[in-house]
Chain A
Amino acid sequence: MKEIFAALIFLAGLNLVSVGNCCSAQVLPKKVTISGYVSDSDNGEMLAGVTIYENTLKTGTSTNAYGFYSLTIPAGNYNLQYSYIGYQTLSQKGVIEKDITMNISIKSAETTLGEVIVEGKRTDENVRSTEMSLVKLDIKTIRMVPSLLGEVDLIKVLQLLPGVQPTSEGATGFSVRGGSADQNLIILDEATVYNASHLMGFFSVFNNDAVKNVTLYKGDIPAAYGGRLSSLLDVQMKDGNSKKTGFSGSIGTISSKLTVEGPVKKDRTTYLIAGRRTYADLFLPFAKDKNVRDNKLYFYDLNLKLSHVINDKNRLYLSGYFGRDVFKNPFSSIGFGNQTASVRWNHLFSQKLFFNLSLIYSRYNYQIGTPEDEPTSFVWNSKLGDYSARFDFTHYLSGNHKLRYGATTMYHQFNPGSVHGTGTNSIYSDFVLPPEYALDHSLYISDDYKVTGNFSVKYGLRLSAFQNIGPATIYSYDTEYSPVDSTVYGKNKIFNTYVSLEPRIAFTYILNDISSVKGSYSHTVQYITLAQNSTAGTPLDIWFPATPNVRPQVSDQLSAGYFRNFRQNMYEVSGELYYKTIGNLIDFRDHAQLFLNQYLESELRIGRGYAYGIEALVRKDEGRFTGWISYTWSRSFRIIPEINYGNRYCSPYDKPHSLNIVTNFEISKRISASATWIYATGLPVTFPTGRAVVGNAIIPIYSNRNDYRMPDYHRLDLSVTFKGRADKKWHDELNLSVYNVYNRHNAWAINFVRDANDPNVTYAEKTYLFAIIPALTYNVKF
């Protein structure tokens, strides 16, 4: 560990020296800077991650999250190439004598489909970039995958890529490289989304119509982000069409959506409003159990975005998300949801120095209640919220260095739970778990450094600090985890601070035009954890902070990969190996009580974990036949002294084999068909190996933890999309999808139950959620 720090600091020092040299000794060829924004020519959306490559000098850069780029080259001729997956490559040639701004718009490849095929050079970003263990998805790819109930979900598409697994059937919770779902940092326009699921996890909070692109970092998390061990899922909302006002909408089996976007002032101010409402409860009247027929079960969400170009140097973005799930039956009701808001200001200090300031608010809450005004009526509330500010600089020092540095600070407030009687003559006294408060700060710097034409290195350091602040009561526990003493801290008193240094380093060595090897190391720290004891989790699970009793979880991950493209980048092939360890790993005692428990910390059991695996991906993004095959072999284990007698056990997300085949074929200009086949080893489970009878009930005696496995999971989904007659203004399509085509009853849960006729007899019974499910969705855009 220490050696790595030393190496990093040394490297950083060396780098500054070399930067100093190049800046002071600029007498020979005059250097000039080309900078600007790259956008989509049809709708004006800024594009992140566009590669800008200087063909003669063989140097390049890429646009940042806001579509900005800056490239410094010697004065004279230039020959630039702008390329991006799913877009036509654009070349710009000319002579340059002084710094210039070049705002570029590139054309989506989709608009020329079936017309003249432009054989532009395909992007070899996969091979060249210093990024690895990363998955990028655009909405076009997401849409082509057949879906459950016709509701295409970006998280479910991510789960078809190597190293990403659903936490249970149909769940949007996901495990990255054997980690748990709470180890993923999910951000929507910079705001943390604490619970990314709707409707018990069968849908995610992300409405495709409002999403521009999605990036998942599985290992090498950028130094700008931290706070979670396993991954960063960065979801960017669309800015809104800056060219013309447009509507898009869909009517589906389970939900309907409507999006309106357009310019308030052309090329200056744009807006986007996207709404979605499901009506799962429409099906309840058909339910077998007539008691649920009057129940309510739905969710809705709303995305709002306003983007404004103040002038050449300043831009402003306002984003908002509001979502809510509602379940109601005669006895009780539950509501839960996220609300996020972010304000971001981009400023160009110079052509080489890009600045962003973000102010962010994020909140998650739930409420459970019973019908009003009974002595037994109650309402149970829980929420967490945070306010944060961050600034980020992107500093394009020269063609060889791209520096990113910045700082963040965040204020957390946790209200783990309270119960109040609501009726007159309530039998309940108020029960309130005290709120907890914390501050979370970080400073980071990273440099993307092209050492030679073939070798680049990205290295960074993140300094993070987590502080608990009063008022608070911290309990101390004896060896049996009974509270023995408590310490009370006053308001605003900072009573505990954890500081961590998180180095991140990655390199790419380009072997030749079509292949490269990459490697990375990252250290991540997680200060807040979800109290979740089940594999899939519930909306009621609460987050709790590190405290003097609970040390932050830490992870170290090493990855190595080989990347190769075939047939002029038509096929991307990659293979990666990883090994990671987790320290201070949190699991929970047997029969842990995680709800409304003042002594939640006494339910934790701390140990360590490790995971390793091989991931392979073959992907074809262009042509009539597109798709990918991904295969993952991986293991994930935990060792916790007070669980499973201290013996190693499989983590709940240990899935040795996972194979996903995703294909899409354009049968004609107007008809396309998709098929997805998924195979995965069953999740580990604990089964009974004996029985006892007490109080006339049969109580199982269990095997060691996770000694058995669920049956293997596999499923085929198909879909066909018919596009309406092409018209300049009106685009419509009809999508028919069939989930679980061969009607496999994949086990969601296995229970051992007593025979109703003979109470001495027990048998195993599986619960499966989805048989074959067809769905129809009609999409329209004008």
Chain B
Amino acid sequence: MKFSSIGFSTIVLSVLTFSCVERINIELDDSYTRLIVDGAITTDTTAHTVMLSSTTSYYYNQVIPPVTGALLTLTDGTVEYSMNEDAPGIYRTNSSVYGVPGKTYTLKIKLAEPIGGYVDYEASSILYPVNTLDSVSLAFHPDWSDDGIWEVKCYVQDPPTEDFYRFLISKNSDMLTDTLDEWFVTDYRFFNGNYAYGAPIAYLQQHKDDEVLLTGDTVKVEMNSIGSGYANFIWEAQTEAGGSNPLFSGPPANVKGNISNGAFGFFSAYSATRAYTIVPDSI
């Protein structure tokens, strides 16, 4: 839980009440190209995906170029899983693979051609266990914003260890949190070992088309225990993808991942638990 973000948003709201924005031309230099790795292994039994691409100039303004023809292997120390390139830059295990909590997974990448001066890249992640998400609930706040806000709450026991969680929300079959900046990531510090009874994990703003909930809709919550490395990666990436201002923002800085040889991105291993609820008659 980032209490500071609540404080900040209150202050920013009050300052930005008086401010305005406009487009501006800023010329930027180009940095060298780096490999980007975006992949995970989870406790689900499914085809686990790793995406490879490469960095571009900041104003590239096109779909990011995939990195094709690489050889990828995934291992838990004893078993090695092969990965096949299903689509350009998208590498998958076969669909019977599942991760086991407590194991350390290592991803090895051998590129067809060097990027950033390297052909070989590697990353490891421990797969953290997660307690079962007992239930989720919804509460409607008609006065919080235009057309009201649905607050999504979760009910789960936090273990007395250092845990980091990510929550993903979907409505019926649509993933609402489909980009990294929408993921809700929180840590254990403020309810360590407590039963998180109705902890808020999402606020669905009813003036946004894709977040509108209608009676009978299913709201599904996926909770992942992700470990501190991946949590910090997401927080840093969210900070850098979002805006900055002279009041709260530290100097912009590159996001730190867990891939060797200066590649960008993260290979994570996490466990997943899910619960759902049906939207009641509102108000």
Given contact pairs A694-B265, A695-B179, A332 touches B241 in the complex (Cβ within 8 A): no
Are A596 and B4 closer than 8 Å at their CB atoms?
yes
Given contact pairs A284-B17, A694-B237, A427 touches B196 in the complex (Cβ within 8 A): yes
Query: In angstroms, how far is the closest chain B Cβ from the Cβ of A55?
Result: 53
Given contact pairs A699-B241, A749-B246, A689 touches B21 in the complex (Cβ within 8 A): no
Are A368 and B21 closer than 8 Å at their CB atoms?
no
Separation of A329 and B11 alpha carbons in the complex (Å):
10
Are A427 and B246 closer than 8 Å at their CB atoms?
no
- Closest chain B residue to A759, Cβ basis: B179
Are B247 and A538 closer than 8 Å at their CB atoms?
yes
Chain B 196-221 interface 0/1 with A at a Cβ cutoff of 8 Å (1 = within)? 11111000000000000000000000
Our pick among B11, B23, B244, B253 for the contact of A764 (Cβ within 8 Å) is B23
Are B248 and A689 closer than 8 Å at their CB atoms?
no
Separation of A711 and B26 alpha carbons in the complex (Å):
9
Chain A 588-622 interface 0/1 with B at a Cβ cutoff of 8 Å (1 = within)? 10111001100000000000000000000000000
**Contact partners of B59 in chain A: CB under 8 A:** 762-763
Our pick among B7, B18, B246 for the contact of A332 (Cβ within 8 Å) is B7
Given contact pairs A427-B198, A694-B38, A370 touches B6 in the complex (Cβ within 8 A): yes
- The reply on A330 being an interface residue by CB < 8 A is yes
Are A701 and B254 closer than 8 Å at their CB atoms?
yes
Our pick among A167, A169, A696, A705 for the contact of B178 (Cβ within 8 Å) is A696
- The reply on B25 being an interface residue by CB < 8 A is yes
Given contact pairs A329-B10, A745-B22, A768-B22, A702 touches B253 in the complex (Cβ within 8 A): yes
**Contact partners of A410 in chain B: CB under 8 A:** none
**Contact partners of A331 in chain B: CB under 8 A:** 6, 10, 144
Query: In angstroms, how far is the closest chain A Cβ from the Cβ of B232?
Result: 8
- The reply on A489 being an interface residue by CB < 8 A is no
**Contact partners of B181 in chain A: CB under 8 A:** 697
Separation of A706 and B63 alpha carbons in the complex (Å):
29
- The reply on B62 being an interface residue by CB < 8 A is yes
- The reply on A690 being an interface residue by CB < 8 A is yes
Given contact pairs A695-B38, A764-B25, A292 touches B14 in the complex (Cβ within 8 A): yes
Separation of A596 and B7 alpha carbons in the complex (Å):
13
- The reply on A625 being an interface residue by CB < 8 A is no
Size band of the interface chain A makes with B: 35 or more
**Contact partners of B265 in chain A: CB under 8 A:** 692, 694
Given contact pairs A331-B6, A689-B28, A692-B55, A535 touches B246 in the complex (Cβ within 8 A): yes
- The reply on B102 being an interface residue by CB < 8 A is no
Separation of A689 and B30 alpha carbons in the complex (Å):
5
- The reply on B84 being an interface residue by CB < 8 A is no
Separation of A368 and B189 alpha carbons in the complex (Å):
18
Are B253 and A766 closer than 8 Å at their CB atoms?
no
Our pick among B38, B143, B197, B243 for the contact of A751 (Cβ within 8 Å) is B243
**Contact partners of A535 in chain B: CB under 8 A:** 246
Separation of A751 and B249 alpha carbons in the complex (Å):
11
Chain B 169-192 interface 0/1 with A at a Cβ cutoff of 8 Å (1 = within)? 000000000111101000001111
Separation of A331 and B193 alpha carbons in the complex (Å):
26
**Contact partners of B197 in chain A: CB under 8 A:** 375, 425, 427
Our pick among B19, B143, B183 for the contact of A769 (Cβ within 8 Å) is B19
- The reply on B283 being an interface residue by CB < 8 A is no
Our pick among A378, A596, A767 for the contact of B21 (Cβ within 8 Å) is A767
Are A419 and B190 closer than 8 Å at their CB atoms?
yes
Are B10 and A327 closer than 8 Å at their CB atoms?
yes
Are A690 and B145 closer than 8 Å at their CB atoms?
no
- The reply on B31 being an interface residue by CB < 8 A is yes
Are B266 and A701 closer than 8 Å at their CB atoms?
no
Separation of A591 and B11 alpha carbons in the complex (Å):
20
**Contact partners of A592 in chain B: CB under 8 A:** 250
- The reply on A473 being an interface residue by CB < 8 A is no
Our pick among A290, A431, A540 for the contact of B189 (Cβ within 8 Å) is A431
Our pick among B23, B60, B180, B246 for the contact of A696 (Cβ within 8 Å) is B180
Separation of A765 and B8 alpha carbons in the complex (Å):
21
Separation of A165 and B245 alpha carbons in the complex (Å):
18
- The reply on B161 being an interface residue by CB < 8 A is no
**Contact partners of B250 in chain A: CB under 8 A:** 533-534, 588, 590-592
Are B247 and A534 closer than 8 Å at their CB atoms?
yes
Our pick among B180, B234, B247 for the contact of A537 (Cβ within 8 Å) is B247
- The reply on B15 being an interface residue by CB < 8 A is yes
Query: In angstroms, how far is the closest chain B Cβ from the Cβ of A765?
Result: 5
- The reply on B131 being an interface residue by CB < 8 A is no
Given contact pairs A538-B8, A695-B38, A767-B245, A687 touches B26 in the complex (Cβ within 8 A): yes
Given contact pairs A368-B3, A694-B36, A329 touches B62 in the complex (Cβ within 8 A): no
Separation of A425 and B31 alpha carbons in the complex (Å):
52
Are B10 and A332 closer than 8 Å at their CB atoms?
yes
- The reply on B256 being an interface residue by CB < 8 A is yes
Our pick among B21, B64, B192, B255 for the contact of A429 (Cβ within 8 Å) is B192
Q: Find residues 306-360 in chain A having any chain B CB closer than 8 Å to their own CB.
A: 327, 329-334
- The reply on B105 being an interface residue by CB < 8 A is no
Query: In angstroms, how far is the closest chain A Cβ from the Cβ of B22?
Result: 6
Given contact pairs A297-B14, A686-B251, A689-B29, A697 touches B237 in the complex (Cβ within 8 A): yes
Separation of A780 and B71 alpha carbons in the complex (Å):
81
Given contact pairs A427-B199, A764-B26, A695 touches B252 in the complex (Cβ within 8 A): no
- The reply on A187 being an interface residue by CB < 8 A is no
Are A688 and B28 closer than 8 Å at their CB atoms?
yes
Chain B 118-140 interface 0/1 with A at a Cβ cutoff of 8 Å (1 = within)? 00000000000000000000000
Separation of A284 and B18 alpha carbons in the complex (Å):
9
Given contact pairs A376-B198, A769-B18, A697 touches B180 in the complex (Cβ within 8 A): yes
- Closest chain A residue to B58, Cβ basis: A688
**Contact partners of A752 in chain B: CB under 8 A:** 58
- The reply on B240 being an interface residue by CB < 8 A is yes
Chain A 665-690 interface 0/1 with B at a Cβ cutoff of 8 Å (1 = within)? 00000000000000000000111111
- The reply on B264 being an interface residue by CB < 8 A is yes
Q: Find residues 129-159 in chain B having any chain A CB closer than 8 Å to their own CB.
A: 143-146
**Contact partners of A370 in chain B: CB under 8 A:** 6
**Contact partners of B64 in chain A: CB under 8 A:** 691-693
Are A292 and B17 closer than 8 Å at their CB atoms?
yes
**Contact partners of B3 in chain A: CB under 8 A:** 368, 378, 380, 419, 595-596
19 A-B pairs (CB sep. < 8 Å): A331-B10, A334-B10, A370-B6, A419-B3, A428-B191, A538-B247, A590-B251, A686-B253, A689-B29, A689-B30, A690-B31, A692-B265, A694-B38, A699-B241, A748-B19, A749-B244, A750-B24, A765-B24, A767-B21
7 closest A-B pairs by beta carbon, nearest first, are: A695-B180, A590-B253, A533-B250, A689-B31, A697-B180, A168-B246, A536-B246
B contacts, CB < 8 Å to A: 1, 3-4, 6-11, 13-26, 28-34, 36, 38, 53, 55-64, 143-146, 178-181, 183, 189-200, 232, 234-241, 243-256, 264-266
Q: A695-B180, A703-B31 are in contact. List 16 more A-B contacts (CB 8 A).
A: A330-B143, A370-B6, A428-B194, A540-B7, A590-B256, A591-B232, A591-B235, A690-B32, A692-B55, A693-B64, A697-B241, A699-B180, A711-B24, A745-B22, A750-B26, A767-B20
A contacts, CB < 8 Å to B: 167-169, 171, 200-201, 283-284, 287, 289-292, 295, 297, 327, 329-334, 368, 370, 375-376, 378, 380, 419, 425, 427-429, 431, 533-540, 588, 590-592, 595-596, 652, 685-703, 705-706, 708, 711, 745, 747-753, 758, 760-771
